[in-house]
Every structure is written in structure tokens, then in C-alpha cells.
Structure 1
């Protein structure tokens, strides 16, 4: 009986902690931008919503993020070391000769801002590649609709 009680208590406590992590992600704002003189692209992720701008002058298109995509985004966010974001190095340097747009990733989490160094749009540092790819997938999904 004691073992059964212990297992049930462990199960419920474990589920409670997982809910707190998902709630914390709801307070985060993730902003991915890429731009050059003639190109602008921005995706802002906040509370199950992706706001996508492909032009400075136009209003953002708002897309609801599905529960499946949100869970994947939360998992990728949890793998990220926010303090190390500013130290990540770009694998390429095409932005230096107009070979790629200048991109950056900014995260506001629990009242603190974290920002990456600039990198080439389409070629993020390997440590954030999955997250950036997921963020950009929302804009691609929007193009299909």
C-alpha cells in the first residue's frame, strides 16, 4: 500500500512540474529577424501565436500555433542555454558580402532579454538550428494557406 501511494504521489508531482514548465514558456517572447537594405522578415512567437512580417510597411500576419507544434517548440526551447545565446558563432559569413540577410534571435524570458550575435539567414549556429528552423516553419505553413 505504501508503494502504491508513493508511486501515485510521484506521478502527480511529476505532472505538476511539467505543467509549470509549459506555463513558463507561455511568458516567453521569441523574435527572429532577418534583414538587408531591401529585405525584411520577422517572426515573433508568443502565447501559441506566431506574428509574421515579410515587409516593414505591412501589418503582421497572425498564425495560431497548433498544440503539436507548440510542444515541439517548448522542447526545443528547454534544450536552449539562454546564457550562452550571446556567445554562439555563425557557421558562415555570407552576410558580410550581401550573400545572405543578417539574422538574429532574441528571447525575452522572465523579464530578461537574451540575444544572439548576428548570423546568416538560413545558416544559424548549430546550437539553435532546430529552434530557428521550427520558427521559420510557421511562415512556410502560412504561405501554403
Structure 2
């Protein structure tokens, strides 16, 4: 009986933590930007909507995110350790000699901001690569 109770308690705690992470996404803002002399791209995702700005003086284009795509974003977001984001190391250094735009990921959750150091646009750190690729897909549409 104790084993069964312990098993049920473990399942309950695990599922409540998972649902808490999903609930937090409604107040979470994820912002990806890529900047160089000739490029300005900004993608902001919040609460099943995305705003894409392509160009320094361009107006942002806002649209709803499909449920399937939103589930992918939530899934990849849940795999990220927010406290570790400022410590991520860029895999390449092309941005140092204008070989690539400077990419940056900023996540704001519960009034706290987590921001990466600059990395090459198109070559994000492995820990956030799938999330960044999902975000940059919106700029291609």
C-alpha cells in the first residue's frame, strides 16, 4: 500500500510541475533578434501570438500561432534551463568579423529577464537551437 501511495504521489507531483510550466507560458515573452549593419530582424512570441519585424523602420506583422506549432514551442521551451541562459557559449564566432549577424534570445518570465550573450545568427548554442529555429521559421513565412 505504501508503494502504491508513493507512486501516486510521485505521478501527481510530476504532472503538477508540468502543468505549471505550461501555465507560465501565457505570461512568458520570448524575443529573438538578429542585427548587423544591413539586417534587422525581431521575432516576439507571447501567448500564442507572434510579432515579426523585418527591417529597422518596418512595422511589426502580428499573427496567431497554430496550436501544433505552439505545442512545439512550449515543448522546446520546457527543456531550457532559464538560469543557465546567460552562460551559453556560441558555437561559432563569425559575428566578430561581420561574417554573420549577431543573434540574441531574451526570455521574460515572471518579471525576470534571461538573455543570452550574442551568437551568430543561424548558429545558436545547442541548448536553445531547436527553440530558436522554431522562432526564425516565423520570419520565413
Flag whether TM exceeds 0.5 (same fold).
yes
What's the offset of the Cα at 1:57?
0.5
Q: Which whole-Å CA distance do the structure 2 matches of 1:42 and 1:61 have between them?
A: 10
What's the offset of the Cα at 1:137?
1.2
Aligned residues: 135
What's the offset of the Cα at 1:46?
0.5
- The DSSP-based 3-state class of the residue aligned with 1:90 is coil
Contact 2:76–2:131 (Cα < 8 Å) also in 1 = yes
Gaps of 5+ in 1: 1-9
Partner of 1:62: 62
Contact 1:63–1:138 (Cα < 8 Å) also in 2 = no
What's the offset of the Cα at 1:20?
3.4
1:125/1:15 CA distance change after superposition, 3 Å: closer
Could you list the structure 1 runs, at least 4 aligned residues long, displaced by more than 6 angstroms after superposition.
10-16
Partner of 1:33: 33
1:96/1:26 CA distance change after superposition, 3 Å: same
Q: Compute the RMSD of aligned alpha carbons.
A: 2.1
**Deviation digits for residues 67-105 of structure 1, max 9, x if unmatched?**
111111011111000010000000000000110000100
Contact 2:54–2:139 (Cα < 8 Å) also in 1 = no
Partner of 1:5: none
Contact 2:92–2:119 (Cα < 8 Å) also in 1 = yes
In the alignment, does 2:134 pair up with 1:134? Answer: yes
Q: Which whole-Å CA distance do the structure 1 matches of 2:12 and 2:126 have between them?
A: 36
